[in-house]
């Protein structure tokens, strides 16, 4: 299949800084939100922050890149996670006794790729169900069952058994992370970076019942969109290039071009690669997207973990035998396309892009001046952008999204200081 048959996925280069006609949201900070009804808990006893109107920060002078970063950090210190959410939003919470197949149907119906879990018997937050869980489930069935058996089992397996799957695969279970929604957004962002988590559930306490209340889930995308929308006067000064800032993962220049993966350390696939092999890369490398390249290394498309969900939504696990080219044909029409940028793009241009459209990663390609324009050069995830804003001094836990060492490390730190900064519990059993 040629790349031209994937019209919606044609790479979209990032554009120059925003036009003045862009809408600018000035109502950046609002009072606390009403409790979601999903958990059926009363909102009466929730902690409240005094209602106030906070305007975007005033920027009196021209800033250097570093000053702009510092101004953004100050902005985040003065906001809480509540500020990131609109006045009204929907929260899907899944009961841990729900069958996986049902959970997938609900997620597709409401167009979400993750949801908090609720243990009704104990009236407790029980972790998150995410795309990574589905990827692990697929791996599990590959090792232990046939596709037919897998499809039948997914009909039956319930969400609380997901952690057994991780044990069988020897994958570290995700620590049960959460943050109070009134904690400074800056702290929550550092915690996101530190734990390699892509999302942080916001848990409040009902002061009347002392029970837990799931408020929402803070994601890297929401935080960056919030900054992009409200701090345009600051992000315009993020003039350093992605290359100079070292944001993202890049093809190693020293790597032997004759070796098996000429794009090392970037995991790539071709149109002929089987979907299952890409699923294996997702699971093994803890990544959520793989660029699809042609024989010359030109980027044709991007295959993402969310694509797998769409593919297996009806328990059609045989679909994993399809090639990427065949699987891409099943992509829904609303796929937003692959966004590309050059290593010389500025961080400011990336924020302009995030302000204008939904973007979860950028593929870095060689520019028109290169002998091979469009050649894969690197990949930039939202976590890379977050890390560049929050600073490289954030101590990192072990690798992988579900790294157990960070759990232990944070507990030790909390014991030493006598201050538990965030909630760390046991994952759902
Ligand atoms: P993500 O899984 O998209 O949150 O990315 C996590 C980290 O892995 C980031 O530092 C990315 O730069 C890097 N990354 C993302 N995709 C790939 C890939 N296909 N190969 C290698 N590294 C990747």
The pLDDT value given to residue 424: 37
Do the beta carbons of residue 342 and residue 367 sit within 8 Å? yes
Q: What is the pLDDT of residues 68-108, one digit of tens each?
A: 999 999 999 999 998 998 878 889 999 999 988 888 888 88
**Closest atom of ligand 1 relative to the 383 alpha carbon:** 4
Structure tokens belonging to residue 420: 């538990």
Q: What is the DSSP string of 248-307?
A: SEE--TTS-TTSS-TTTTS--B-TTSBHHHHHHHHHHHT-SEEEEE-TT-BEEEEEEHHH
Q: What region does 39 belong to: left with phi over 0, alpha with psi -120 to 50, or beta?
A: alpha
For residue 37, the CA-to-ligand 1 centroid distance in Å is 35
Q: What is the pLDDT of residues 370-420, one digit of tens each?
A: 888 899 999 999 999 999 999 866 554 433 333 333 444 545 555 554 444
Q: What is the pLDDT of residues 310-326, one digit of tens each?
A: 777 655 666 788 899 99
CA distances from 153 to 12, 94, 163, 275 (A): 40, 19, 16, 21
What residue owns the CA closest to ligand 1's atom 21? 266
Q: What are phi and psi of 14, to 5 degrees?
A: -75, 145
For residue 331, the CA-to-ligand 1 centroid distance in Å is 22
* CATH fold of the domain at 12-24+37-46+55-424: CBS-domain (3.10.580)
Q: Given the DSSP bridges, would you call strands 249-250 and 212-219 parallel, antiparallel or unpaired?
A: unpaired
Enter the pTM of the model: 0.79
Evaluate: CB of 287 within 6 angstroms of ligand 1: yes
Query: ∠ at Cα 24 (381, 193), nearest 5°?
Result: 25
Q: What is the pLDDT of residues 211-224, one digit of tens each?
A: 889 999 999 999 99
For residue 211, the CA-to-ligand 1 centroid distance in Å is 37
Q: Is 80 helix (H, G, I), strand (E, B) or coil?
A: strand
Name which of 297, 201, 213, 308 is nearest 257 in CA terms.
297
Counting ligand 1 atoms within 8 A of each CB, the residue from 381, 385, 388, 394 with the most, and so the one to mutate, is 381
Structure tokens belonging to residue 343: 């290593």
Q: Is 386 helix (H, G, I), strand (E, B) or coil?
A: helix
């Amino acid at each position: 299949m040629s790349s031209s048959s994937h019209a919606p996925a044609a790479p979209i280069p990032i554009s120059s800084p925003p036009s003045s006609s862009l809408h600018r949201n000035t109502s950046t900070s609002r009072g606390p939100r009403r409790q979601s009804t999903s958990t059926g808990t009363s909102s009466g006893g929730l902690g409240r922050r005094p209602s106030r109107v906070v305007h975007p920060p005033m920027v009196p002078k021209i800033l250097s890149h570093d000053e702009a970063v510092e101004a953004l950090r100050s902005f985040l210190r003065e906001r809480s996670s509540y500020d990131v959410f609109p006045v009204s939003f929907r929260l899907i919470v899944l009961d841990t006794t729900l069958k996986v197949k049902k959970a997938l149907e609900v997620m597709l119906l409401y167009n979400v790729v993750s949801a908090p879990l609720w243990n009704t018997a104990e009236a407790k937050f029980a972790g998150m169900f995410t795309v990574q869980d589905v990827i692990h489930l697929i791996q599990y069935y590959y090792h232990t069952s046939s596709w037919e058996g897998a499809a039948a089992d997914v009909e039956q397996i319930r969400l609380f058994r997901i952690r057994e799957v991780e044990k069988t695969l020897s994958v570290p279970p995700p620590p049960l992370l959460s943050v109070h929604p009134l904690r400074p957004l800056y702290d929550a962002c550092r915690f996101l970076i530190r734990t390699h988590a892509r999302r942080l559930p916001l848990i409040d306490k009902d002061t009347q019942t002392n029970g837990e209340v799931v408020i929402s889930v803070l994601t890297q995308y929401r935080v960056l969109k919030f900054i992009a929308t409200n701090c345009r006067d600051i992000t315009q000064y993020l003039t350093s290039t992605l290359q100079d800032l070292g944001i993202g993962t890049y093809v190693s220049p020293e790597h032997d071009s004759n070796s098996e993966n000429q794009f090392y350390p970037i995991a790539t696939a071709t149109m002929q690669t089987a979907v299952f092999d890409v699923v294996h890369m997702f699971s093994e490398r803890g990544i959520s997207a793989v660029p699809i390249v042609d024989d010359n290394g030109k980027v044709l498309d991007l295959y993402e973990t969310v694509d797998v969900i769409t593919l297996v939504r009806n328990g059609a696990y045989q679909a994993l035998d399809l090639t990427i080219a065949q699987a891409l044909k099943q992509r829904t029409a609303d796929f937003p396309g692959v966004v590309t940028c050059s290593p010389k793009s500025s961080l400011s241009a990336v924020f302009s892009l995030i302000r204008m459209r939904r973007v979860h990663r950028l593929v870095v390609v060689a520019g028109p001046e290169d002998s091979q324009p469009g050649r894969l050069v690197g990949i930039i995830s939202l976590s890379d952008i977050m890390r560049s804003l929050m600073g490289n001094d954030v101590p990192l836990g072990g690798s992988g999204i579900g790294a157990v060492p960070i759990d232990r490390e944070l507990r030790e730190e909390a014991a030493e200081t006598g201050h538990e900064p965030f909630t760390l519990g046991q994952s759902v059993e």
